Amino acid sequence: ENHQYDHYITGLQQLYGEKTVDEAMAVVTAKTVFYGLSHSDLTLSQFTTHQKLLTAYHKVRAAERLSWPLNKINPPV
């Protein structure tokens, strides 16, 4: 399985350290799909920054809808 990388492992470990190479190999061999990311559900509720962005977006859209009668040239989409 890792035979194609055997010639490089020792050198890479000397350059970057064993832990870093092990983590990289887990990604390369698809044992780890996305390094450092946890699995999420469809609501993306685990990503607080994303949730804050969505909240701000909804506030902006609500304000646009309220101001639309004043700005009939560019109605909100």
pTM above 0.85?
no
Query: pLDDT class for 77, splitting at 50, 70, 90?
Result: low
- Would you give the end-to-end CA distance of the chain in angstroms? 53
Which pLDDT score, from 0 to 100, does residue 73 have? 64
Task: Classify residue 21 by burial, with Cβ atoms within 10 Å: 0-12, 13-18, 19+.
Answer: buried
Segment 6-61, tens digit of pLDDT:
889 999 999 999 999 999 998 888 888 777 777 777 888 888 899 999 999 999 99
DSSP at 72: T
